Chains A and B, each alone.
Chain A
């Protein structure tokens, strides 16, 4: 599980994340919903410990991510925003590289790799170099290498961004599967349908602040709107005339 308390991050004069607190439970899918530039990516980066918060705490299971970033990272599987692959390595080599860095090797690594290739339906491209991959294939490779060490917590930054319907479905399928296995899944999105389709709990952030959290129904009630999209706009303060 992931617990965040009073998270704060400034870039110069801009406060990108301001006093954000929430928790993402095991066996649940938690969505970080917000418009572009709301601070979703910065929040996630602080959780997966490539950015240090100016203040606040990040707890991954029972590990403090600020004090022990590598301990936290060992418990996380991450699909970062705008991830890149190595064009001259094959899909299988990508999975191996990250697996080895997590300390997995030999038969266990081979077994896990085969399992992931099957799970993500990418056996056909396993030994092709990444240079010619489609966006969907690239996302699958990035997902596979993020999951190679069977992480208890999975962070996905805009995982379905730019994907076609088939690939989007595949990603949703993986998310549900991870949840059913008891994994804590936290993903960010700015797309309403995405969030309502897979998440158990929604955290709405705008302008670096947490503006609402709860289930989809709770958010509808709170905003007094019919559709989730209207509710989101109302909660995020983006409704026409609200400024």
Chain B
């Protein structure tokens, strides 16, 4: 009973101590607030670009050369035609306009003679964000071209159907939708990083930091089993990690509900069920991460060294995300219990709206918790090692 109380005493002290450390809380605040804010910004930008593309103003140079085309364009929904500037290329290059249509003088003559009439589109393809707009203009022009072409064939007594050798049915996954999906795929990595950020401070400060300050020896003079002291430190780190991850996840889900996802072609709705599923994956993961961080930090000869290990450890949650984009692997049952990898698969599965067997959650959680226990026991052994305690 007494050792259990001692675990709570150490845990409470470490939490109180670290919550007073403003400098250490900064990365946690960053993980909780900045990453979701970044996602919100990216998503709203993509959505607003999408809207811009639907509601488009096209500057036209030489509109008097093709009044019929200009009339047709301005009849299309959401299209406004304005007079183009003198130096079209310069205007696009410096970003004042994203796309300008130039109708050369010979358009009318060639059009009348049923020869391909030239139209120039001035665009800057290096500017990624304007692509939707440019593509809309190109689609409009090819629509016009098809319409006139068909009329000409009809005038010559030929069915326009003959001219269409292949009928392309466009199942469109527009680039905006892709980018929105990529941004959503960022969420699992974001919450995994939040878990590492949350545990980091206590894991280093209460081990390598405690020894460097010289407060470890006085602490170990108290009649408490090393396992109790180590468990208290680990529990504190795990709790802060859980708090960080929960806040980040809640914020991310709330955000997904408020963002115009439908506008981006993502029909999936985020709700309480997704939040609960994500937390079911993340909460059992935090004790494992905290144990891993504390164990590694105990090995470090100094606080600085421990911090640099934590930085390297931060790359671990990025590995499955990077691997996921390089090789598009399918979720298989054996992957779920693998730490980090399985967590990433479960989270992407939840966000992607896939149905996952409850056993995958259980297997994943059990492996995480067992590993956490093993690491804490190993850490208690380190705390009995004189070379570790006195930093020889």
Contact = CB atoms under 8 A, between A and B. Distances in A.
Interface of A: 11, 48-52, 70-71, 73-74, 76, 78, 80, 82-89, 93, 97-98, 100-103, 142, 145-146
A71 B221 contact: no
22 contacts: A50-B217, A52-B386, A70-B223, A70-B225, A74-B223, A76-B221, A78-B218, A80-B221, A82-B217, A84-B214, A85-B215, A87-B213, A88-B21, A89-B17, A93-B16, A97-B13, A98-B218, A100-B5, A100-B9, A101-B10, A101-B223, A101-B224
A71 B215 contact: no
B222 interface: yes
A51 B389 CA distance: 10
B221 A48 contact: yes
Nearest to A77: B221
Given A52-B386, A101-B6, A101-B9, A84 B218 contact: yes
B2 interface: yes
Contact of A102 (B20, B223, B392): B223
A73 B218 CA distance: 11
Interface of B: 2, 5-6, 9-10, 13, 16-17, 20-21, 213-218, 220-225, 386, 389, 392
Given A97-B9, A97-B13, A101-B9, A78 B20 contact: no
Contact of B215 (A50, A76, A86): A86
A83 B217 CA distance: 7
Given A86-B213, A101-B222, 8 more contacts: A50-B389, A70-B225, A73-B222, A83-B218, A86-B17, A101-B223, A101-B224, A146-B221
A50 B221 contact: yes
Contacts of B9: 97, 100-101
Contacts of A11: 392
Given A84-B213, A85-B213, A103-B2, A73 B21 contact: no
Nearest to B384: A52
7 smallest CB-CB distances across A and B, nearest first, come from A84-B214, A84-B213, A84-B215, A101-B222, A70-B223, A73-B223, A74-B223
Contacts of A98: 218, 222
Given A51-B386, A89-B17, A142 B221 contact: no
A70 B17 contact: no
Contacts of A78: 218, 221
B303 to A, nearest CB: 12
Contacts of B16: 89, 93
A84 B9 CA distance: 19
A228 to B, nearest CB: 31
Nearest to B222: A101
A74 B222 CA distance: 7
A78 B220 CA distance: 10
A214 to B, nearest CB: 29
Contacts of A100: 5, 9
B218 A142 contact: yes
Given A85-B213, A88-B20, A71 B223 contact: yes
Contacts of B213: 84-87
A73 B221 contact: yes
Contacts of B386: 50-52
Nearest to B3: A70
A50 B220 contact: yes
B17 to A, nearest CB: 5
A80 B223 CA distance: 15
A49 B13 CA distance: 23
A15 B148 CA distance: 101
B204 to A, nearest CB: 15
A83 B215 contact: yes
A142 to B, nearest CB: 7
A143 B216 CA distance: 16
Contacts of A101: 6, 9-10, 222-224
B19 to A, nearest CB: 9
Contacts of B221: 48-50, 73, 76, 78, 80, 146
